[in-house]
A = this chain, B = another copy of it.
Amino acid sequence: MIGKVKAATKTKLLDAALRIIREKGYTATTIDDICRMAGVTKGGFFHHFKSKEDLALEAANHFHQMASALFESAPHNELEDPLDRLLGYLDFRISILSSDLPHCTCLLGTMVQEVHDTHPAIRRACDQFITYHANQLARDIELARQRHKPDAEWSAESLGLHMQAVVQGALLLAKARQDHEVAAESFRQLRRYLELLFR
């Protein structure tokens, strides 16, 4: 009626998983870690997830939902010119970087790098969601191409994936250096690339 008072236990577990896995990686994250942060016992955990891998799959989906909502509701999506939306996307990503690292990194990239060879199901899920996001970008890239550079020889899909690669790589470097600025700089380089491409 007045709205959900207590956050569902499952959501608390998923939020905790999101946080801890991004901090420590998938394998190093223990179920007890997640339970502790969520204030739930192991029994509760296994009531909602049938295994750790199952949690990872649901966490990937949970992250995807949150990220999609965040980027779709971002202000730059209101812009009329698809190229402005793309540049605005990068500016938005740069602005997000000011929050703490474990909060602004990508769960999908973190997990898939670690388990791509050992957990096929997780790999597939991460691949699917990353591809989804790349395709979202590719949509605007194609529109911008038609408007500004109709005879360009590169494909929108390829550029969309490249943008995702830069995002993942930049966040990785930020972790390595413990400094957001290197990621911001990389996003600015990518921004310059787009400007050169569409000019």
A-side residues, CB < 8 A to B, are 23-25, 27-28, 102, 108-110, 112-118, 123, 126-127, 130-131, 154, 158-159, 161-162, 164-170, 172-173, 175-178, 182-183, 185-186, 188-190, 192-193, 196-197
Q: How many copies of this chain are found per oligomer? A: 2
A88 to B186, CA, bound (A): 21
Q: Does the CB pair A173–B168 fall under 8 Å?
A: yes
A72 to B110, CA, bound (A): 30
A114 to chain B, nearest CB (A): 4
Q: Which of A114, A123, A182 has the most CB of B within 10 A?
A: A114
Q: Indicate whether A115 sits within 8 Å of B172 (C-beta atoms), given known contacts A186-B161, A196-B197, A197-B196.
A: no
Contact with A158, one of B115, B178, B185, B196 (Cβ below 8 angstroms): B185
Q: Does the CB pair B165–A169 fall under 8 Å?
A: yes
